Chain A
């Protein structure tokens, strides 16, 4: 462990000083959940918290990577640095992954103010990898002004990114659904900004108008403020492939962040802290259930559930009671 701590200090200090290779190595450690990553997070976490974390989510093919690329150009034009964490799904069958988001982002190879990292989801549902938030914290500590978290292509309920980001952008493509889709619970409820991309396609204006009507105009303004409420997003239209609407998107992101600073973001930060700690708790629990001392019992318990000899609740209680006695180190 002493070796890991020394290695972590060395990598963390180099990454903060601008060494991109050290930063990349640190992100690998984070992805693999190594002791180096844990020690580095302990060293870096308190210096993170300055970057604007923006989540970009939406269905497959809606243009997330193209929009991220267009945003990079806009942000660099404004003289700010930007890091991207782009998540693509891991195969549930082989564990392999095809990480293809960089295809649209390769124009920035010579620019030291841009750092792009692909991540495989590695079995984590919810749209991100279990380590994406930690990766974002490392990039934050490394000094990037803006961090874009691009999710896997999402469906209706992968809302995890909203807890990971200060500002959540949900992409929609034109003509992807009617007004009923717009009022279903889920992804659209957590959007701070809804972007109708492919704005040059027929139907983009109509899609934006429907979303505006359903998400903004009909929101219940007299609702009891003490009850949890869905967000009331701003609706924008972009054509990421040409850059149209992207300057306006950056202005809207900045505006949302400025508004967040004035108070409403405390809840979001707490939600992020909770999500982050929970992810570690569940990872550690899973690890512990599969470690040397528990593997056989875990396996036997799961087999009893599969054979309907034990119900899943009793099984969970039995497994939890077993690991509760574990004393680390």
Chain B
């Protein structure tokens, strides 16, 4: 069905306790017509990959404000690849220095959303780039 909602996992990896942004985005994407799975704080890369696999999501959105993105994000993308989920769109939001962006893209991140990004911008990007499941 062409008109089925895209399914998005919003996850907070690592020990960062700031989830207001992730919650606002989860709710905002809900209002944009997405089915959003939210898994809460302090997720390990393994938890995120397992949730992505069991939920068969189209998109994994990682929210990181702790500065640990260079460690955590490549772990998540590697686990997704290991499990055959390399067709899942991975995006990162939070505080990510510009200098780190090329390495994250190299690791498989499709887009990085920094402060000031609107929910509509995120929704538009996901609709244009995610591959819905059959």
Which A residues contact B (CB, under 8 angstroms)? Answer: 20-21, 24-25, 27-29, 31-34, 36, 90-91, 94-100, 102-103, 106, 109-110, 115-118, 120
Contact = CB atoms under 8 A, between A and B. Distances in A.
A106 B43 contact: yes
Contacts of B43: 106
- Classify chain B's interface size: 20 to 34
A33 B3 CA distance: 12
A27 B44 contact: no
A97 B37 CA distance: 8
B97 interface: no
Given A24-B53, A98-B27, 4 more contacts: A25-B133, A27-B56, A32-B133, A94-B31
B51 A102 contact: yes
Nearest to A36: B134
A87 to B, nearest CB: 12
A21 B83 contact: yes
B54 A110 contact: no
Interface of B: 1, 4-5, 26-27, 29-40, 43-44, 46-47, 49-51, 53-56, 83-85, 133-134
10 contacts: A24-B55, A27-B56, A94-B33, A96-B35, A97-B36, A98-B36, A109-B49, A110-B46, A117-B55, A120-B5
A157 B69 CA distance: 47
B38 A32 contact: no
Contacts of B33: 91, 94-96
Contacts of B85: 21
B45 to A, nearest CB: 10
A91 B54 contact: no
A102 B46 contact: no
Given A29-B134, A97-B5, A106 B40 contact: yes
Contact of A25 (B36, B44, B56): B56
A91 B30 contact: yes
B37 A102 contact: yes
